[in-house]
């Protein structure tokens, strides 16, 4: 089943002499359960692409369709709800809530969704799967970087999103912890049939994914994307 379609998307920032063509006519598709790596040099447009797919920024041209919804057609509030229900984010800097313990951080996307019942059994399963069960009462500052990133991954999974967008999720981790977090990403991808789009600078990590997209200067390199 196809969960994502990016059709002829362009993104411009600024105007006149400040104009930046961050993305130029990008098209791609992703199936449910695919683990896709996005690679490219600094400034090539990787984060811009994730931000557009995640509804954190507005595209200039084209359309993005997630689970059959054209996200450009959504109003601000609708987009916020859509994002919470369909997108899981994992950032380089973890972005956990410092005042919430591990359990509450992971459950947050569900608790924020008013009227939605929190499936505690599912959250418990996630915490166990990611080796965080005995840390559930701890706060982010009490955890290592790798542990914090595992919490971020559990949080991203908690809403059973259509897509997880991970922007250099191992960028702050040492090589041993990188391997561990990558292993968990891959395991979650398979176990939950979870689509993941991951930006990385690491060619070896990219080579471990189902498919690699190369972006250069805002363009998806032809012949390599396999979309
Ligand atoms: N908010 C913004 N306003 C203006 N220009 C922007 C903005 N965000 C990104 N850009 C520009 O768009 C281009 C793509 O940026 P982007 O952040 O997507 O690159 P990236 O591939 O993620 O790079 P990196 O690997 O360094 O994270 C760059 O030229 C950047 O300067
Ligand atoms: Mg970036």
Give the distance (Å) from ligand 2 centre to CA of residue 42: 7
Structure tokens at 148: 């914090």
H/E stretch holding 9 reads strand 2-13
pLDDT for the residue 223: 56
Q: Tokens 């499936």 belong to which residue?
A: 119
At 225 the pLDDT is 46
Q: What is the CA radius of gyration of the chain?
A: 17
pTM over 0.85: yes
Sequence-ordered list of residues with C-beta below 8 angstroms from that of 38, at least 6 positions apart, any chain: 46, 49, 50, 197, 198, 199, 200, 212, 213, 215
Q: Which residues of the chain have pLDDT under 50?
A: 224-227
Beta carbon of 105 within 6 Å of any ligand 1 atom: no
pLDDT attached to residue 227: 45
CA 148 to ligand 1 center in whole angstroms: 26
Say what the pLDDT of residue 118 is.
Answer: 87
Q: What does the pLDDT read at residue 115? A: 67
Length of the chain: 227
Residue-level pLDDT at 73: 86
Domains, the chain? 2-220 (3.40.50.300)
Residue (of 214, 196, 94, 194) closest to 151 by Cα position: 94
Looking at residue 116, what is its pLDDT?
Answer: 75
């Amino acid at each position: 089943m196809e969960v994502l379609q990016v059709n002829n998307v362009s993104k411009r920032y600024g105007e006149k002499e400040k104009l930046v063509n961050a993305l130029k006519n990008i098209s791609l598709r992703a199936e449910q359960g695919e683990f896709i790596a996005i690679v490219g040099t600094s400034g090539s447009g990787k984060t811009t692409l994730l931000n557009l797919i995640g509804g954190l920024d507005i595209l200039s041209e084209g359309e993005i369709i997630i689970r059959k919804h054209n996200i450009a057609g959504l109003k601000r509030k609708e987009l916020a709800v859509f994002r919470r229900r369909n997108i899981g984010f994992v950032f380089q800097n973890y972005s956990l809530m410092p005042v919430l313990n591990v359990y509450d951080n992971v459950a947050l996307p569900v608790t924020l969704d008013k009227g939605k019942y929190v499936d505690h059994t599912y959250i418990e399963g996630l915490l166990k799967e990611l080796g965080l069960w005995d840390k559930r009462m701890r706060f982010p500052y009490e955890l290592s970087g790798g542990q914090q990133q595992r919490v971020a991954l559990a949080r991203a999974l908690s809403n059973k999103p259509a897509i997880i967008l991970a922007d250099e999720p191992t960028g702050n981790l040492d090589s041993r912890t990188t391997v561990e977090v990558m292993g968990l990403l891959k395991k979650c991808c398979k176990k939950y049939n979870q689509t993941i789009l991951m930006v990385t600078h690491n060619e070896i990590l990219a080579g471990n994914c189902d498919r690699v997209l190369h972006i250069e200067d805002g363009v998806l390199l032809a012949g390599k994307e396999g979309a």
